[in-house]
Amino acid sequence: MFNITLHDNNYQGFKLADVSNFDFAKLNEPEKAKVRKALDSISNLSLKELENKGVIVFPTSAVEKELDDRKIFSVQDLMKDDPIIKTTNIMGFFSIGDVQIQIRSRFDKDDEQFFLHYMLSKVCNVAPTIELTDANRDPFYEFCVYLFPTFLKKAVNQGLFRTYVTHEYNDSNIRGVIDFPRHFRNNIPFNGKIAYRTREYSHDNFTMQLVRHTIEFISENNSLRKILLIDEDMRNAVQNIRGCTESYTKSARTFIINKNLKPITNPYYTEYEPLRRLCLMILTHKRISYGQRKEHQINGILFDGASLWEEYLNVVLHEQMRNKPDYKDYEFEHPNNRKKQGGKHLFEGNKGLIYLDFILRKSGKIEAIIDAKYKRLENGVDNADYFQLLAYMFRFSCNRGMLLYPYQKNEKVSDSDLFLAEQKGEVSISIYGLEIPNQEKFDDFCKEMEAQENQLVNRIKI
C-alpha cells in the first residue's frame, strides 16, 4: 500500500518524498509506474468527473463551470524521481488501487483534523460525538458517519425509494407466476397451497434495505447512535426507513451490500445515489478502507474547502446573530449556487446570473455584501477579489463590502478597512479573519472556536 498525505492550498507544491510513506526513488519500475498512473489519473480529472465516477463530493458540487473544471491537485515532473504535487481548496480521502491519498486542511496538524471535523459538525448539524483521541480511529470513516444524516434526510425528502421487487409466496391466494419446481418441492403431496412469485412495486427493496442496515450498524455503536437522534427530521427519517423494511435481517447484510454495487439511475430519486455510495462506505470501511481496491477504480470522499467554508460561515453567522438581541433588525441572506437558489442578475433582461455569498440587510435595506474566501492571504488580497466584491456592491448600491477568511497566527493579514479613492470615505471594503486555534484537545479547540466566532461577528456589526 502506498500512502500519500497532503495539505490543501499549497500552490508551491509538496515533494512526493516528503509526503509519502515510501521513497519513490527507491521503488522498482513496476511500482513507480503504478504510483505515476494513479497520480496522473487523479491530476487530470476534474471534481465533477470524479463525482461522476462515484467519489462523494461534499457539499454537492456547484453548478458553475469553474467548479466543474477544477482539478483537485496537479503534478509536476511526474516522470522524474522527485515529483511535485500542488494542491487546491479540495480536501478528502481517496484511493486508486493500492495508492491511497489524504488531503487534509492546512489548519490541521499531524493526524488531528479538528478544523475539518468542526466545520462538518456545524454544516451537518451533528454534535461532535466521535472520540477523536482514539489512536486507532479511521478519519475517513468518521467523516462518512458525519455526513449520513444530511444525505439521508435529503433522500427521504424526495420520498421513500420504490421499485419493482420479486416476492415468493406459498399460499392459496395465487396472484402471480407459478413456480413449479418450488411447488413440487414444497407442496407434494398437495396440501392446498400453490408456490408462486410476483413482482410488486415496493418500498421494501435492496436500496432501502441497504439504508436500513446502515442505520442499524450505526445504532450498534454507543458513541455514534446519537447521530440518529440529532433532530426531529432525522428521527422521522429513521422511523420511516425502519417501518418500510419489514424483511430486514442482520444476517443478510453481505447479501444486501452485493446487491447494491450498481449505481441508482432512477431520475425521480437522484439523492439516493450519493446515499447508496455513503452507506457502502460506512458498512464496508473495515474491509476496503477508502474504497474497493481495484487497480483502476477511484473511490473516496472529497470536501470542497471553499464551499464548506461558505456553508460553515452561514451557520455561524445565523447562530451568532440569533444570540444577540441588538441584532434583531439584521438579516443574513445566503444565495446558494449549488441549489440554484437566490441568484441575482447583473444586467437588465435577466442577464449575468450571479450568486453572492452573503447579503446583510437591516430593516430590509442592504447594508453590506459579504464574500467568503477559503484561501491563503499572506501576500494580501488579490485585485480580482476586490473587483468582484466592488462589482457586487455597485450592483446593489451598497457602500460596504466585507471579506471573511480563516487564518493561523503566523499567516494573518491585519484586519483593515479600505476606502475607495475619491469617495470621501463613503465606500469601503473590510477584511476580517477568523483565527483557527492550535489546540491539543478537541474540546478545547471547540471552545476557542466559539470564542473566535463571537469576536468575528462583533467585528462585522454595523
Query: In sequence order, what DSSP letters do the residues of 152-191 get, joined into one string?
Result: HHHHHHT----EEEEEEEEES---SEE-HHHHHHHH-S--
* Residue with the three cell numbers 512526493: 16
Domain at 389, CATH number: 3.90.1570
Tell me the average pLDDT across 366-379: 86
The vertex-420 CA angle with 416 and 424, nearest 5°, equals 105
User: What gap in Å lies between CA 404 and CA 226, rounded to an integer?
Assistant: 33
Residue after which a domain boundary falls, among 233, 255, 288: 288
Residues 174 and 223 in one domain: no
Same domain, 253 and 338: no
Residue 198 belongs to what domain range?
165-202
The answer to whether position 178 is within a domain reads: yes
Residue at 446 is within a domain: yes
Same domain for 194 and 218?
no
CB 105 within 8 A of CB 305: yes
- Distance, in Å, from the CA atom of 373 to the CA atom of 433, rounded to the nearest integer, reads 10
Q: What is the mean pLDDT of the chain?
A: 83
* Paired residues of 184 in beta bridges: none
Task: Clarify whether residues 265 and 348 are in a common domain.
Answer: no
- Which pLDDT value is given to residue 240? 95
Structure confidence by residue, pLDDT tens digits, 214-268:
999 999 988 778 888 888 999 999 999 999 999 999 999 999 999 998 989 888 8
Q: Is residue 44 part of a domain?
A: no
Q: Give residue 379's pLDDT.
A: 72
**Report field, pTM of the whole predicted structure over 0.85:** no
Are residue 158 and residue 170 in the same domain, yes or no? no
* Phi/psi at 160 (5° precision): -70, 130
Residues 153 and 258 in one domain: yes
Q: Stretch 320-330: mean pLDDT, rounded?
A: 71
Q: Evaluate whether residue 192 is within a structural domain.
A: yes
Asked if residue 255 and residue 390 are part of one domain, the reply reads no
Q: Do residue 357 and residue 430 come from a single domain?
A: yes
- Please indicate, yes or no, if residue 64 is contained in any of the structural domains: no
The helix (run of H) or strand (run of E) holding residue 361 is strand 358-362
Most confident of 10-14, 185-189, 252-256: 252-256
Stretch 377-389: mean pLDDT: 84
More confident residue, 149 or 43: 149
Q: Give percent helix, percent strand, percent coil of the chain, each to the nearest 5.
A: 40, 25, 35
**Mean pLDDT lowest among 60-74, 224-238, 381-395, 412-426:** 60-74
In a domain, 188, yes or no: yes
Of the residues 288, 322, 355, the one at which a domain ends: 288
Among 244, 259, 288, the domain boundary falls at 288
Q: Which three cell numbers stand for residue 423?
A: 469617495
The mean per-residue pLDDT over the stretch 424-442 comes to: 86
Note whether 223 and 342 are same-domain residues: no
Which stretches of 53-160 are assigned E, i.e. beta strand?
56-58, 73-76, 84-87, 90-96, 99-104
H-helix segments, 340-461: 383-395, 442-459
Please report whether residue 33 resides in a domain: no
pLDDT, tens digit, 9 for 90 and up, residues 92-136: 888 887 888 889 888 887 667 888 888 988 888 776 544 544 434
CB atoms within 10 A of CB 345: 12
| 288 — pLDDT class (breaks 50, 70, 90) | very low
Lowest mean pLDDT segment, chosen from 49-53, 66-70, 89-93, 231-235: 66-70
Q: How many domains does the chain have?
A: 3
347 and 427 share one domain: yes
Inside any domain, residue 170: yes
Residue 54, classed as helix, strand or coil, is coil
Rounded to an integer, the average pLDDT of 12-39 is: 88
* Higher per-residue confidence, 277 vs 331: 277
Which of 1-15, 25-39, 118-132, 289-303 comes out lowest in average pLDDT?
289-303
Same domain for 263 and 149: yes
366 pLDDT tier (thresholds 50, 70, 90)? confident
Q: Are residues 147 and 248 in the same domain?
A: yes
- Is the predicted pLDDT of residue 159 greater than 90, yes or no? yes
